[in-house]
Structure 1
């Protein structure tokens, strides 16, 4: 049964009334000195010092949080000491270990957690602590599996939640203070307003706090982490979480939010293919709100998860250079506001078998941001026409406060005035240089140049030889249509889909630019662009859809789809 609205309103009023008084006991954020430099006892660290010491952090995603009977259920290998040691060796000072308890906890009675599973969680936590990590554990996918039913099953959900944290707190009561508790991941509640959800979360926060603090041992002073509803950074959700934290009147609490970027860019929809001013501005506005609401009031913040949502499909949804600019700037701005970051990795970044980075360039920019800025450029792609004498090309540099220090081709430093010229931040690659690098008929990447700055990670310029892409006619069904495409060295950027009257066709009919990886996916090896069932499910029967296929070279293709029942045909212009 849903709780009566008057109780929800009363809860909100109660926590809000405590804000002003409780916040006064918190000290303002200041960049702490290294607490280990003078041999300080970690147990004496403040919340601000603890969170600062956790920077940078990494998520052991899709392992102990996997929904199923085993930590390998979502495709990752079993966690080993070697894996944790390898991650620690990358320079991470903290590790977030998401834990889903649902499949290992009784659903009624005493809500007992399986002893074997608890022992496994403890084993992994102990291994990470032994490696020198700060470790954060939580209640993870339980948030959407059963905690979200709290509006209609209030007492049962609260009892199970309390039982879970009673057992977790008891199991780790004597763990060192480097272990941190986060009460719940991405909290959400079904079929209630955001304000009602805030009040329900405040109730869970209060229970969590009371249970952990009353469980004895190190838990009496352990750092506790409280999320916003949905781990959102919207101002109303930040304010509600601040009120809840203030009502607990406890200096050893941090707040947490998640950030996966400006959504259209993060998934590549609506034509947001580049890291433009709007995308950058979203980082700034988000982090500024978090800083003003929490950090400036003495409540440290952990960015518990961050990345790009497009990576849930594959890491090629966002063009390489554009994603690198996003990662570089986010790391920089998080440092500016004083926020600890914990990078989400579900196995897509750090290979858990070989213990190597799957994208070394991405890793270079993530880790480089821990030390300072890196220079970038307007693009990392330089297209030249295959089989033709190329013209000189200009690339606008973004030094990000650094100085240009040279242009290199492998181990060879290129000559200014001959190979290139620099006019302000405009780098012009000479026709002679490009002709020497990519003057033949071969298609694809021909060379990788490095723009080196006075500090940071060099910016790579990929010199690509291409000709105009060509599409062929195709037949298929509404289950899937694979359009043969000779990419000819080019890369797909985005696709527009409209009906003959100009209205948007396909999924997300509020925009003509479709979502990369959902409405279409390129297969460069097979030489196709695949339109899946999800695309045609949103296309009118007996209709024509006109496509404009955009490539990173700036070239476009016109293509027409015809749907009749389950039959689909495609024809090139």
Structure 2
């Protein structure tokens, strides 16, 4: 707990009890005096939205601040100099030079006609693309990664299957025991063939590798577990489909990345590194139709811990960079394999944030970015009218369509830069208020719109399914409208 120094005049008044509190003759209110007694905190979540040679800087408000001062690094003077003072939490800067520009911001408290400067923020870098780079972005839509996303067509997840975590199974559990633990049937070649016949060109296989992994600190994945994943991947590739494998929720160990205990955080990176080294080496000779995905939606808020948003973005970026470096270092077809980079929380808005960076790569045009789409959550996720944070039983208004288009357009920044876009999951839950699950009104419109917009913008969208839509036991669609959309 931080102890603040109490101004003497306030302390004296409190001790006397009956003595009125009179502000000192400084033009400051008592609340301002309290803040001025100690330097204001540095503004957090300092970021920039770049547009050509201009940028809009923004940051979180600081309690007690009357204004904010922007500092820009002067390369000739080799130091940060005052640029401007503003009273809001945003500032526009224009005429930026090509390359890297550096900024800081500090909160100010007014004292008479002067300002008292608080602690200064972390430095942020604002990069302005050269004319050549801007031209390259225009041609980015012709990259191999963008073309791949288009080829991948409609996709489907094998949900609640190889990512199932079931601690109750015990030490003698087999890979197929885990596969069926969350209610799905054993995956078969016929099942995958029926998905292909149903109109799907791609299958995402979420995986919980920790289910069968050594606990000696070496994180060795069981050969039997690899064998079962091999079989499922084989079914998909044998049908000339694209296949994505990842490290999914996997029991929730991702939160260790955000631990304040450095040993715990390092152990998380050690585990991540060991897993991807094994996975990459195991599949390095496989067809390039097999795509590795760095993570699931846990990469972001779940790995944040108590760090600031800027620090959290940096952590996400470093984990994704580690993933690319590991895979490329294993050689074979992994030198140029297409890799899918998980966005921040796999959330469109958070991934489109300029703080999210795609990794550097030794292979050209081989990276794609992954986001999920369950918006609005009150329609896509809330399954009961009694849901505490809201519920919507229908979708399909003009506003709904406009919002979805606006969301999808945010990802065009990636295709413009040459990165393919994968909507790795999307879906709508069934209403569970009654004895039977009931499909929400407008689900068909939602699915059709996701498909249409993805086709228009060159994205691959993959429906999340646990036999709610495509019944793996009967190997057929549960609703006729799905066949009309995908087949």
The answer for the alignment partner of 1:288 in structure 2 is 409
The answer for the alignment partner of 2:373 in structure 1 is 259
- Once the two structures are superposed, residues 409-431 of structure 1 have per-residue CA deviations (whole angstroms, 9 ceiling, x without a partner) of xxxxxxxxxxxxxxxxxxxxxxx
The answer for the alignment partner of 1:220 in structure 2 is 335
The answer for the alignment partner of 1:84 in structure 2 is 192
In structure 2, relative to structure 1, the CA distance for the partners of 1:274 and 1:27 (3 Å cut) is: closer
Aligned length: 344
1:348 deviation in Å? 1.2
Task: Tell me if 1:169 matches 2:283.
Answer: no
- Matched-pair contact (CA < 8 Å) for 2:196–2:239: yes
Task: For 1:223 and 1:18, locate their aligned partners in 2 and report how far apart those are by CA, in whole Å.
Answer: 26
The answer for the alignment partner of 1:348 in structure 2 is 468
Task: For 1:285 and 1:23, locate their aligned partners in 2 and report how far apart those are by CA, in whole Å.
Answer: 26
As a proportion of its length, which structure holds more helix? 2
- Pick the aligned partner of 1:156 from 264, 267, 272: 267
The answer for the alignment partner of 1:118 in structure 2 is 226
- Matched-pair contact (CA < 8 Å) for 1:102–1:145: no
Aligned residues: CA RMSD: 3.2
- Matched-pair contact (CA < 8 Å) for 1:139–1:184: yes
Show structure 2 runs of 5+ residues with no match.
Answer: 1-43, 48-101, 103-121, 167-172
Paired residue secondary structure (1:126): helix
- Pick the aligned partner of 2:145 from 47, 55, 64: 47
- Matched-pair contact (CA < 8 Å) for 2:191–2:472: yes
1:311 deviation in Å? 6.5
1:386-535 equivalences in 2 (<5 Å):
none
Task: For 2:432 and 2:423, locate their aligned partners in 1 and report how far apart those are by CA, in whole Å.
Answer: 19
- Once the two structures are superposed, residues 225-278 of structure 1 have per-residue CA deviations (whole angstroms, 9 ceiling, x without a partner) of 1111110111x4323575233687852100110001212333364556342233
In structure 2, relative to structure 1, the CA distance for the partners of 1:123 and 1:248 (3 Å cut) is: same
The answer for the alignment partner of 2:211 in structure 1 is 103
Show structure 1 runs of 5+ residues with no match.
Answer: 1-5, 33-44, 369-573
Paired residue secondary structure (2:229): helix
1:103-252 equivalences in 2 (<5 Å):
103-142=211-250, 145-152=252-259, 153-186=264-297, 187=299, 188-192=302-306, 193-234=308-349, 236-240=350-354, 242-245=356-359, 250-252=364-366
Task: For 1:198 and 1:102, locate their aligned partners in 2 and report how far apart those are by CA, in whole Å.
Answer: 25
Task: For 1:171 and 1:247, locate their aligned partners in 2 and report how far apart those are by CA, in whole Å.
Answer: 21
Paired residue secondary structure (1:150): helix
Task: For 1:15 and 1:58, locate their aligned partners in 2 and report how far apart those are by CA, in whole Å.
Answer: 39
- Pick the aligned partner of 2:399 from 278, 287, 309: 278
Task: For 1:347 and 1:15, locate their aligned partners in 2 and report how far apart those are by CA, in whole Å.
Answer: 46
- Once the two structures are superposed, residues 58-100 of structure 1 have per-residue CA deviations (whole angstroms, 9 ceiling, x without a partner) of 1111111111251001011111111111111112111111111
1:284 deviation in Å? 1.2
